[in-house]
Structure 1
Amino acid sequence: MPSAFCVGLIALMAASNFLHVPVFVQVIGSATSIIYFSATFSLKLKHHRGSSAKEDMRIMVQLLWIGVAYGIFLFKLFFDKDLANLLIASYYSFTSVLSLTEVFSPLVARLLFRGGSRTYRRALKVPFYGESALELSQAWVLTFAFAAGFAYAWFQTKHYLLNNVFGVSLSIKYIELFSVVDFKYSAFLLCGVFFHDIFWVFRTGGMVTAMPFFYPPAKLMFPRAFATATEKANAAQAFPKPFFHVNLVFYVLGLVAIVTVMFVFKAVPPALLFLAPACLGSALATAFARGEFKELLAYSEE
């Protein structure tokens, strides 16, 4: 259950206030556990996906990250950085509230609405999207109110623990719902953000310019989503799942390389410089070793 996992992970993060837990252990442990459990949760939703048009909308959301980053970079150059941060922080506060609500509303329904949470339904027409059914349960509304309170507290204090709470919930729901349509598209997307990250850090200096003023909770998603794609590709096969497990191991090795560079050279490298080759290379190498290269490239969720 996503909410139970999220509660456990947040509790471990809170425990670091009282127990000495090395930073690299927290980073690698939380990232790895989020991928593993979120990928497992996503398998339960595999047969409940929407149409291809809805999948295209999910894909467009991924491109929003790049647009937002460049938008901050340009806004910082020509406008007040505080205003830019206010706009972006407001947007991510709202998305964090939604993700937190989606993660914890099932738990609230079980604890407070044992007789069943009443659900309100209404059909809506969304511009450029079409028909959409709005469903709000009592548990969802109550959880949304609590999540909004958390967002207000984070907005006022920027406390790291609240930031981590939103970051974990965003990661879980994003990976759980993310769809890459097919494996080739996923690989192409990963290659694209690999070169983009190098250009963004080394060529434009955008990371140095924009990120010091960028406070909203954010988690690196593309490699995690790619790892989830290997989990779904394995779902059509009998367990064990070699592609996913190998991919996860190399993702962890990529994180270890990043943390090592940070501590040894006192510099923050572009994360995708390590994670993108680790994830894509391990998947392709596993396919070659198992003689399943064509099958991997042919995989599609449709």
Structure 2
Amino acid sequence: MSNLIKVAVIGAGMMGKNHLKTYKSLPGVELVGVYDIFEDAAKAAAEMFGIKAFASLEEVAQNVDAVSVVTTSVTHADVGEFFLKKGIHCLIEKPLATTEIECQRLIKAAKENNVTLLVGHIERFNPAVEQLSKILADTSKIRSLTAQRMSAASGRITDVDVAMDLMIHDVEVVQSLVKSKVVNVEAMSVKTKDKPEGKDYISALIQFENGVTANLTASRITQSRVRTLSVTTDENYIDMDFINQSINVCTQSRSPYMNAELPDWMKYGLKGCEEHLFIPSSQPLASEQTHFVNCILGKETPRITGENALEALKVIWEVQRKLGFLSSSEALKKAA
């Protein structure tokens, strides 16, 4: 491997172009090309960023050290496994794959070929989430979490329900904070005349082995863009905004009044404070790609492993099963 890590992006859609743009200015990286099954899309992206449009995955593999896989989720397993088995490091966008067997194939290929597999759950690189992780390092203090990820209809993703599209972000973040096994999942959906299947507004209640609960809501029919996570601990209440990259910490305590003439029941009152944390702003995709490069160089270990991504998927599959989006046989197939 040369001093510069040679990288290509597989997939020239909107998110693929975001990866290309960010790699182009990333230190320590040489962006060498792009591949897409649609030749015109690959050529247009290559011209935009002054790189090569590869004609095949084989040609990509001959010219790179690492790739970002930004294709449709049903292709992640085959595309990722192809590169991992050739000793090429992979950053694979979420979801990792579409079944547990596919996820295990990718995990196995990365281990057997001693290469990095990083899964693109980009919210883990939001500076507010990074700061929240530090605040909640003592996970025994967490009592409950509530996440809301809502917006109006979008043409960006239409082939999956809102749980797989949006809620999976919060599931993975919450699991990283709680660090306990999920023992139960319940789910409900909102059905409307226009959306009778209820796949665009879903709420899930997750219970963890250590007693923590998480209440998650994801929507594609809400006329406001909301991305928040609140945490109740035994010491404070923390409110985080993914969009604004902000955190507020609220604390209350009982303090004595210094007045001997007051009766005992009046000698204590609640004293509260709200702290607005300063969080240096950063671009999550740039942070994610920098982390990927550092993992390749052996400076860091993957923040979101294949195993982490699979655990998040298991929760989403259970949400889908509880709502009847998956039959029992389909659920078994995904978890087989």
After TM superposition, the score normalised by the length of structure 1 is 0.27
**Which structure has more RCO (C-alpha within 8 Å, separation ≥ 6)?**
1
Higher gyration radius (CA): 2
Higher percent of residues as strand:
2
More helix by share: 1
